[in-house]
Amino acid sequence: MSYTPELRELMKKVEETRPSRVGVNYPRMTPDERRDVLKNFHPDYIEDGFREVRVGVDKGTRLTNEMADIFEAYSRLKDVEIDLTVEPDYDVDILIIGGGGAGASAALEAHAAGSNVMITTKLRFGDANTMMAQGGIQAADKENDSPAIHYLDVMGGGRLENVPELARALVMDAPLVIKWLEDMGTMFDKKEDGTMITIHGGGTSRKRMHAARDYTGAEIMRTLRDEVLNKGIKVVEFSAAVEVLLDDNGNAAGAVLYNLETNQYEIARAKTVIIATGGSGRLHYRGFPTSNHYGATADGLIMGYRAGAKTIYADSIQYHPTGGAYPPQLLGLLVTEKTRGLGATPLNIKGEQFVYHLETRDVASSAIIRECEERGLGIPLPTGITAVWLDSPIIDLIHGEGTIERQLPAMLRQFQRFDVDIRKVPMLIYPTLHYQNGGLLIDENSLSTVKNLYVAGEASGGMHGTNRLMGNSLLDIIVFGRRAGRHAAAVSKDMDTPAGLNLEHLNSYHKELEETGAADGRVGPMLLPRYTHR
Amino acid sequence: MTDQIKKVDIFIMGKRYTVPETLTIMDAMEYAGYQLVRGCGCRAGFCGACATVYRMAGDYELQVGLACQTKVEDGMYLAQIPFFPGRKATFDLEELKPSTAHFTQLYPEVYRCLGCSSCTKVCPQDIDVMQYIAYIQRGDFQKAADISFDCLMCGLCVSRCPANIVHYNAALTARRLYSRYIAKPDAFLVERAKAIEEGKMDEEIDELVTADKEKLQELYDNREIEK
């Protein structure tokens, strides 16, 4: 048991109030209360964390300081000699940058449509936030549900700032995606008769969260990856794209790749390019820890932006209410929302609930920050930070002994590794940097504002407005990955090999940086975060 | 804070570094100055990138763990396995059947298991690996799928197997076979997918897509929520 004696003493309050909380729902906030807590406590509203970007197509747009730093940076190729007149190292119809769920889905669809596809990826194929998504994937495939009801949840959760056509595509494709994945052999939680087991997520009005235990993303990713390999699709690992190449018409036509192990550059020519590089949690906005993958450094965003792709809500960041806070080895790691879906409730130092356990993520995070910062009712930890309890043992009280073991094996195992048994003691949590709600703007075919340049998955934006609901990200990567793959395949079919490959856009971008003095010597994309201490 | 934390000596590929005892192996490597490229993925115990072999000073027994999920200990000698060249059989799922005959063609080595249990002993997820291999041998893909489910495909089982079985790939194939052919389909899902493809769900949603924000807000604030 790795909780300190002080924590064990405080924990008694949780045990005291537990019996009175079983089966009792804490009231939801009114719409006004929700708006109020967001405005006062959500990091998206804390103005000193943001600035206007001084260069590029969205000059003057508000970004987090950390993302603006990445946008206001020189290319890694600034002083590198790249010969674009020789035969490229790779020559394909479709170049997919990123080997997560969106990239793999795009590859499968494009391959099925007859295109010559290649995936290039910074780390291993499958090293992505997809792999870490635990709780579930939404789809309206029950009789009491419909894509329209799902749509209303998506829009309301997204503060009605979503691009309607993208939200429509997201929810309408959802049942098709579940079927596609299941036909491929993805193992969702089901009853004996085949019925999908679904539960609530934060902000859902119907139980439409499909899961594969709490390894949902991992199960989807390994299945997609296996299928890509079965199809013989070319995958180049440890090869990060650093810039998009344009042709003589200014359309996307490939990318410059950087072999992380040999430090050499390579050229990939392609008729169409799909950016599927994921999110940006490793930029650690406002110093927050993150639940994100090692490679989540916004590479695709800056590459696409330099090539002229416009952004949408790139300043909107999702803080997941339940990041691990203690033991210190679990700091920032995701405690799946499924834990709350199963009934675990956030509690303050007095063992009292202070927010309905299934508010949307933005509201729940803000309420936890308020409880700790304004009300001073957080639990002080030996590491110097404060946190709140998440009462996990109540799950087995509500649903019967063994529920945690069956439904949350990853969580149980993760905490057990550091001597905390979540069946017996509550978890300690605090919001963690989880997701980039916005990204590069796309249309229903995943096409960016640059011709022949597609974006899918977390790198894209618009469908979620400024707050994504749980289970809509695993959905979004597959929906828009597939759409990108299909459309790119159709477009590539009748296209000649692009000519006049160039990096001219970097020169004009660099000129803007010089004129504004914005770059301050920074170079990007980051590729990998630096955690070395010396 | 950092000053009060006890430090321990660890040996990364034989070289000594002094690091805070609260760190995971992964954090400790970074603390020591390594910029990780291989051997680091999700950093949360889901991706299997950071399989690590270690031995405690004075002990002969090799132990294993995920670098991101294992705390350092004083006197730990460690090395990561950056990549393991295990074979993956390629197949067309639509041409396969969940039968022993088909499985034999994909992974014949599965049937050469010696029963030594090295795979089970080495699994950082505490999966009974040898048992699911036995289920696969018997053609019980449901049980194999069930007990292999939490596999992260880190490859440690393969590294120890005297029969050269690639357990994690065999298990993945078993799970895909189970899901595709043995688990029953969800009847309503099939119906719903068909309705969407036939455009039968368009009208209801397009009414919302064209609605103004005020109307949507009202609908959202007053929507019925399933208990």
Domain residue spans of chain A: 5-41+322-431, 91-316+437-505
List the 45-64 stretch of A: residues with Cβ below 8 A of B: none
Half-sphere exposure of A384 (CA within 13 A, CB side): 4
What domains, with CATH codes, occur in chain B?
2-80 (3.10.20.30), 93-182 (1.10.1060.10), 196-221 (no CATH)
d(CA B104, nearest CA chain A) in Å: 17
Q: Read off φ and ψ for residue A452, nearest 5 degrees.
A: 65, 10
Q: With the CA atoms of A72, A77, A79 and A80 taken in that order, what torsion angle do they form, in degrees rounded to the nearest 10? A: 180
**Alpha carbons A200 and B49: distance in angstroms, whole number:** 32
CA angle A437, A439, A444 (to 5 degrees): 95
**Cβ contact, residue pair B150, A207, below 8 Å:** no
Which class would CATH give A5-41+322-431? alpha beta
- Report the chain A residue with the minimal C-alpha distance to residue B201: A147
Per-residue pLDDT at A534: 53
Mapping DSSP onto H, E and C, the string for A448-461 reads CCCCCEEECHHHEE
Q: State the residue for tokens 């450094």.
A: A297
A334/B44 Cβ within 8 A: yes
Q: Do B192 and A144 touch (CB under 8 A)?
A: no
Type of residue numbered A309: A
- Judged by DSSP in three states, B178 sits in helix
Phi, psi of A212 (to 5 degrees): -125, 85
Rounded to whole angstroms, the Cα distance separating A206 from A148 reads 12
Rounded CA-CA distance A351/B142 in Å is 42
Q: Are strands B7-12 and B76-80 parallel, antiparallel or unpaired?
A: parallel
Runs of H (alpha helix) within A334-472:
338-341, 361-373, 393-399, 403-407, 409-416
Average pLDDT of the residues in B126-146: 97
Task: State both tokens at A413.
Answer: 């195992």
Q: What is the mean pLDDT of residues B62-89?
A: 94
CA atoms of B18 and B2, how far apart (whole Å): 13
Q: What is the pLDDT of residues A47-78, one digit of tens each?
A: 999 999 999 999 999 999 999 999 999 999 99
Write down the pLDDT at residue A517: 93
DSSP codes, A133-181: --S-EE---STT--HHHHHHHHHHHTTT-S-HHHHHHHHHHHHHHHHHH
Asked whether the predicted pLDDT for residue B9 surpasses 90, the reply is: yes
- Strand-strand pairing, A252-259 and A239-246: antiparallel
Do A210 and A181 contact (CB within 8 A), yes or no?
Answer: no
- Distance CA(A110)–CA(A488), nearest Å, equals 7
Separation of first and last alpha carbons in chain B: 46
Q: Which residues of A touch B152 (CB under 8 A)?
A: 218
String of b and e for A343-364 (b: at least 16 CB within 10 Å)? bbbbbbbebbbbbbbbbbbbbb
Residue B1 pLDDT exceeds 50 = no
**Cβ(B52)–Cβ(B65) under 8 Å?**
yes
Neighbours of A499 (CB within 10 A): 10
Using CA atoms, how far apart are residues A68 and A365, in angstroms rounded to an integer? 24
Distance from CA of B158 to the nearest CA of A (A): 17
Q: Cα angle vertex A388, ends A383, A394, to 5°?
A: 125
Compute the Cα dihedral for B181, B183, B187, B193 and give only its sign: negative
Whether residues B41 and A123 touch (CB distance < 8 A) is answered with: yes
**C-alpha to C-alpha distances, A17 to A120, A353, A373, nearest whole angstrom:** 52, 9, 23
For residue A274, the cross-strand partners are: A96, A454
Task: Confirm if A378 and A348 have CB atoms less than 8 A apart.
Answer: yes
Alpha-carbon distance of A20 to B35, in angstroms, equals 50
Distance, CA of A330 to CA of A327 (rounded, Å): 6
Burial A50-79 (b: 16+ CB within 10 A, else e): bbebbbbbbeebebbebbbbbbbbbbbbee
| pLDDT of res. A532 | 87
- CATH homologous superfamily for A91-316+437-505? FAD/NAD(P)-binding domain (3.50.50.60)
- Which residue does chain B place closest to A153, by CA atoms? B220
User: CB of A284 within 8 Å of any CB in chain B?
Assistant: no
Contacts of A213 in chain B (CB under 8 A): 149-150
Give counts: helices (H), strands (E), chain B.
10, 5
Query: Quick check: do A5-41+322-431 and A91-316+437-505 share a fold?
Result: no
Distance CA(B161)–CA(B114), nearest Å, equals: 9
Q: How far apart are CA A57 and CA A505, in angstroms?
A: 11
Chosen from B205, B215, B216, B218 to mutate, greatest number of chain A CBs within 10 A = B205
Instruction: Output Rg (C-alpha) for chain A, integer angstroms.
Output: 23
Confidence band, pLDDT 50/70/90 cuts, at residue B5: confident
Alpha carbon distance A433, A369 (integer Å): 13
Tokens of A387: 């946190």
Average pLDDT over residues B142-154: 97
Task: State how far the Cα of A477 lies from the Cα of A219, in Å rounded to an integer.
Answer: 14
Closest CA to A344 of A322, A329, A362, A328: A322
Say how far apart CA A272 and CA A286 lie, in whole Å. 36
Model confidence over B86-102: pLDDT tens digits? Answer: 999 999 999 999 999 99
The partner residue sitting opposite A141, judged by closest CB among B31, B88, B189, is: B189
Angle between helical axes of A31-41 and A361-373 (0-180°, round to 10):
60
Which of A107, A95, A126, A451 lies closest to A275 in space, CA to CA?
A95
List, by residue number, the catalytic residues of A.
Answer: 320, 340
Taking 50 as the pLDDT cut, the residues of chain A under it are none
pLDDT at B2 over 70: no
pLDDT at residue B3 is higher than 60: no
Q: Give every strand in the sheet of A198-199, ordered side by side.
A: A137-138, A209-210, A198-199
Nearest-by-CA chain A residue for B177: A185
